[in-house]
Amino acid sequence: MLQAVLSLGTDLDLRTTLQRIVDSAAGLTGARYGALGVVDPERGRITELYTYGMPEAERQRVGGLPDGRRGVLGALIREAEPLRLDDLTADPRSCGVPPGHPRMRSFLGVPIRVDTEVFGNLYLTEKRAGSFTEEDLAMLRVLAAQAGIAIGNARLYETARQRERWIEGAAAVTTSLLTGEPAGEPTEGSTGDTAPGATAPGATADAPTSDAAGDALTTVAERARVLADASAGVVLQPTEEGGMEIVAASTPHDPGDLIGTTIAPGSPVLEHLLGGEPVFVEDSATDPRMTTHVRTRFGPSMMLPLQSGGKLIGTLALPRRRGGRPYTALERLLASQFASQAALALVLADARRNRERLAVYEDRDRIARDLHDLVVQRLFATEMMLESTRRRAEPGSADTELLDRAVDELDSTIQEVRTAIFALQQPPAEVPRSFRGRVLRETGGAAALLGFQPSVHFTGAVDTLVGGPVADELLSALRAALASAHRRADVSSVDVEVDATAVLPDGRPGVRLVVTDDGTADDGSRGATLTWQSPR
């Protein structure tokens, strides 16, 4: 007993401590099976279960963990008092045993309290020699009391580490947004998504739609997903129709269908989201407030407002997979604080971009004024002098022809300078940082020449898997293919496919670009396909 008590305080990791408690309890009492169920005080049910004596294959046959709302486990949660039974099956409260569950008769259970709060319950069944005795119950109560102290220490340590991770994550996101530098690699791979066939993340009411703004929102979504241990991190923004649309997303497997998903006007959850209120969902797949087609793949979810100074930028949603553990009160609090910090950073980053853009506009205006007031006027005056000289020269002479060419060249130069002045007065285009954004920028530029927007499709986590020289070579091949399509007659459609999960003929993983158009070549053939591929 002394060794068991001493071993409980040797590790500050909460999960390791909980498993050691179960193992020690079973060893002290001679129980064949043991379990420690962590109870959620808000929901009154078991959220985690640590077991002893049951192999993983047997756990899989039993199915999901009990919720603790019925049967003897539920009685122990409701009453929070020690319980000893010689025959579990004879107790009238016993029910809900799933098929494939091991045969269990003798039972011993005690609550584990941390301070005055019931943290969970310790269950032991099937004593190897007879039934559980009062001595077993006394030892288990002592062990539960010491376990409460060990759990309290481990939980304080875990809470401190969790707060530290969220604070570091918020600081990294803030630094990234304000400096333009990457926020650092998260603990697992993830990708930002961009809508296939689109040139901007999406229309918003209060935030810019440039590539820089899209990258900023994706940075927030990605970091929050990793910190919350969520299945996805998405940012929604209000639409002109009164709904909300997913404009940035981060998922480990890049499903490609999150971006553009819209919550239609009139959805029950919109009143809270547009009002800047957080929404916490137990199960996205079954909650009637959730109406999108992607909800069926997710379980517990948090939807947190991104607002600063009364300005709603959007909503940060962090759904976990179906059957995932629900969010705790601490996780909700830390995620809400992160969302507030991220919203402020987004507003400051937007202001910084506006200041930089204004400085660029001012420089362009100054250069345009100088070109117009100095260069164009001098060129025009020189042209007038040459024109006057030409009129005085002998008609048909070599000097007249030379002056004619000089006047034409000056006139052409003046037109080119005026075109440059006009271009300087246009808003500068944002240069996208993501590979996906660079592809969309190329196809968007080709649309001005083709007269229509090429269709673009992505497969796989292209932003993660494609980069460096391979990305540059692919973009060069894409430009050549788009230029070739422009030269063909009667082009009405161009399809661009980028597959980051392609397998090359030699079996190596690679990236493949396929550009298809329906134009007519010089030899009369209809349609053309360009295929480019390279190892990643």
| DSSP letters for 175-236 | HHHHH-------SS--EE---TT-SSS---SSS--SHHHHHHHHHHHHHHHHHHT-S-EEEE
pLDDT score at 15: 84
**If pLDDT is split at 50, 70 and 90, which confidence band does 207 have?**
very low
pLDDT score at 194: 32
Which of 6-10, 181-185, 453-457 shows the highest mean pLDDT? 453-457
Does the pLDDT of residue 86 top 90, yes or no? no
> Which residues does 126 contact at the CB level (< 8 Å), separation at least 6?
31, 32, 33, 102, 103, 104, 105, 106
> What pairs with residue 44 in β-bridges?
none
Q: Which amino acid is at 464?
A: T
Contact at 8 Å (CB) between 184 and 172?
A: yes
Calculate helix-pair angle for 468-487, 435-450, nearest 10 degrees.
10
pLDDT score at 9: 66
**If pLDDT is split at 50, 70 and 90, which confidence band does 334 have?**
very high
Higher pLDDT among residues 42 and 447, named by residue = 447
31 SS3 class: strand
Tell me how far apart the alpha carbons of residues 276 and 457 are, in angstroms, rounded to a whole number: 34
369 SS3 class: helix
Tell me how far apart the alpha carbons of residues 231 and 253 are, in angstroms, rounded to a whole number: 9
pLDDT score at 144: 86
Tell me how far apart the alpha carbons of residues 517 and 504 are, in angstroms, rounded to a whole number: 24
Does the pLDDT of residue 100 top 50, yes or no? yes
Q: What is the per-residue DSSP string for 394-412?
A: PTTSHHHHHHHHHHHHHHH
Phi, psi of 308 (to 5 degrees): -150, 130
pLDDT-above-70 percentage for the chain:
85
Q: Which amino acid is at 473?
A: E
Does the pLDDT of residue 318 top 90, yes or no? yes
> Which residues does 341 contact at the CB level (< 8 Å), separation at least 6?
170, 173, 174
Q: Could you report the per-residue pLDDT of 375-430, keeping only the tens digit for each?
A: 777 777 887 888 778 777 777 677 777 877 787 777 777 767 766 665 565 555 55
> Which residues does 127 contact at the CB level (< 8 Å), separation at least 6?
29, 30, 31, 32, 106, 108, 136
Contact at 8 Å (CB) between 302 and 277?
A: no
Does the pLDDT of residue 248 top 60, yes or no? yes
pLDDT score at 251: 84
pLDDT score at 196: 30
- Among the residue ranges 27-31, 338-342, 381-385, the one predicted with the least confidence is 381-385
pLDDT score at 368: 75
Q: How far is CA 491 from CA 75, 476, 495, 497, 520, in A?
A: 73, 21, 11, 18, 7
Q: Could you report the per-residue pLDDT of 440-486, keeping only the tens digit for each?
A: 888 877 887 788 888 888 888 888 888 888 998 998 889 888 888 88
Does the pLDDT of residue 434 top 80, yes or no? no
**What number of other Cβ atoms are within 10 A of residue 92's Cβ?**
6
Q: Could you report the per-residue pLDDT of 105-144, keeping only the tens digit for each?
A: 888 888 888 887 888 888 888 888 888 888 888 888 888 8
- Among the residue ranges 9-23, 202-216, 256-270, the one predicted with the least confidence is 202-216
Does the pLDDT of residue 205 top 70, yes or no? no
**What's the mean pLDDT in 272-278?**
87
Phi, psi of 114 (to 5 degrees): -110, 110
**What's the mean pLDDT in 153-167?**
88
pLDDT-above-90 percentage for the chain:
8
Has this prediction a pTM greater than 0.85?
no
Bridge pairing between strands 117-127 and 31-40: antiparallel
pLDDT score at 301: 92
**What number of other Cβ atoms are within 10 A of residue 192's Cβ?**
25
Tell me how far apart the alpha carbons of residues 496 and 516 are, in angstroms, rounded to a whole number: 7
Higher pLDDT among residues 68 and 208, named by residue = 68
Tell me how far apart the alpha carbons of residues 180 and 344 are, in angstroms, rounded to a whole number: 15
Task: Determine if residue 373 is left, alpha or beta; phi over 0 gives left, psi from -120 to 50 gives alpha, anything else beta.
Answer: alpha
pLDDT score at 420: 67
Does the pLDDT of residue 63 top 70, yes or no? no
The kind and range of the H/E element at 335 are helix 329-370
Name the CA dihedral angle for 377, 382, 386, 389, rounded to a multiple of 10 degrees: 100
Which of 38-42, 44-48, 207-211, 515-519 shows the highest mean pLDDT? 515-519
pLDDT score at 419: 63
The 3-class secondary structure across 453-513, one letter per residue, is CCEEEEECCHHHHCCHHHHHHHHHHHHHHHHHHHHCECCCCEEEEEEEEEECCCCCEEEEE
**How high is the mean pLDDT of the chain?**
79
**What's the mean pLDDT in 214-225?**
84
pLDDT score at 447: 80
Does the pLDDT of residue 215 top 70, yes or no? yes
Name the CA dihedral angle for 123, 128, 129, 131, rounded to a multiple of 10 degrees: 30
